[in-house]
Amino acid sequence: MSFFWNWFESRSDRKEAKNFGNVIRPLILSDDDTNTTPVISILPPPELHLLMGPVNKMYTELENVWPESELWLIACNVKKEVYHSGKFAGYESRKLLMYVDRLEALSLPISCEKFITAFKSFNEVVSSCFGQDLKDNFWRTINTFSRDYMKLKINVTPKVLAVFLSRW
């Protein structure tokens, strides 16, 4: 029996919650769910965060190795949002992914070409996994993006990791 039901059945008031693990609401997940199913399958993270996180991380790292990266933003008519702590919001993140060809058209150093590959493969992930319909190739797109991202040799943030793990 859970802490909640113990507290509920004792008819205690809220002040007594400390004696019942401070649980005064029923669990969202049953014990069966938590023992057999990954939480990410029951409560997936919002797609918007999984879009913005990798795009912002990859762009920041691209900016570190290629200071002229702002040329890509100008070509796409995209700006970092002040209210997002100087990061790209959802629409801007999606726009950058749709216009990777404009980045490719710029004269990037050879060392930055791996970013083009990673942005392209992440765009494939977004196209195959995000939205109402899950495409048949979503496993392959996530695996490809995982491989391409790791070639960047940059930190794997929690949001990027969530994308990687969504293939399981």
Kindly state whether residues 160 and 104 are assigned to the same domain. Answer: yes
Is there a single domain that holds both residue 132 and residue 100? yes
Q: What is the pLDDT of residue 1?
A: 47
Q: Do both 8 and 79 map to the same domain?
A: no
pTM above 0.85, yes or no: no
Do 29 and 52 reside in the same domain of the chain?
no
Residue of 110, 112, 95, 105 whose CA lies nearest to 55: 95
Strand partners, 81: 87
Query: Does one domain contain both 60 and 25?
Result: no
Q: Which residues of 128-152 are buried (b: 16+ CB within 10 A; e: fewer)?
A: bbeeeeeeeebeebbebbbebbeeb
Long-range contacts of 82-85 (CB under 8 A, 24+ apart): 84/52
CA atoms within 13 A on the CB side of 162: 19
**107 and 61 within one domain:** yes
Same domain, 27 and 60: no
Task: List CB contacts of 136: < 8 A, sequence separation 6 or more.
Answer: none
Same domain as 146, residue 64? yes
Same domain, 96 and 121: yes
What confidence tens digit (pLDDT) does each residue in 90-117 have? 999 999 999 999 999 998 899 899 999 9
Q: How far apart are CA 121 and CA 167, in angstroms?
A: 14
Whether 100 and 117 share a structural domain: yes
Q: What is the pLDDT along the chain (168 residues), one digit of tens a residue?
A: 465 556 566 666 666 666 666 566 666 666 665 566 766 667 777 889 999 999 999 999 999 999 999 999 999 999 887 776 889 999 999 999 999 999 999 988 998 999 999 999 999 999 998 888 889 999 999 999 999 999 999 999 999 998 998 765
Residue range(s) defining the domain that contains residue 64? 47-165
**Total of domains in the chain:** 2
